[in-house]
Amino acid sequence: MKSNNVIVKKSKIEGMGVFANRNFKKGEIIFKWGNIVLTEKEVKNLPKNEKGRVFLFNGEPHLQKPPARFINHSCSPNTKVVNDSSDVAIKCIKKGEEITSDYPAFLPTDKIIKCNCKSKNCKNVI
């Protein structure tokens, strides 16, 4: 999957990842998510593999669409999420670099996931 700004391909962190297809400056929007807001009934009826792509944002369940669904977590992320559901560069990102974010803001507090980011600041769990 490829767009002008990003490409989705195999990641060293986990499965597939999103990579910069050009250089980004600090503060630049990488992309807007384009998520689908769901009802609780729609969430319940999703196939099992899609349920893992649902997260709460502003108290509503959202289904992540590509490329956002392929953003991997890092304990030293290079993007942050802003209010309009966009990933914004928090430092300069070079073409070919994996786009990463910090997941805990979107995970339920009772959900613990092993971290594979391998950054020097890795907390080993998300």
pLDDT value of position 119 = 87
pLDDT value of position 117 = 87
pLDDT value of position 2 = 45
Fold of 6-106: Beta-clip-like (2.170.270)
pLDDT value of position 95 = 97
Running along the chain, 126 residues long, what does each successive block of 10 average in pLDDT? 80 94 95 84 90 80 86 92 84 97 66 81 81
CB burial readout 26-41, b (16+ within 10 A) else e: eeeebbebebeebeee
Instruction: Report the Cα 43 to chain-centroid distance in Å.
Output: 19
Residue 57's CB: how many other CB atoms inside 10 A? 16
pLDDT value of position 12 = 94
Cα→Cα distances 115→20, 81, 102, 124, Å: 22, 19, 11, 5
Token pair 């250089």 is at which residue? 23
Q: Return the CA Rg of the chain.
A: 14
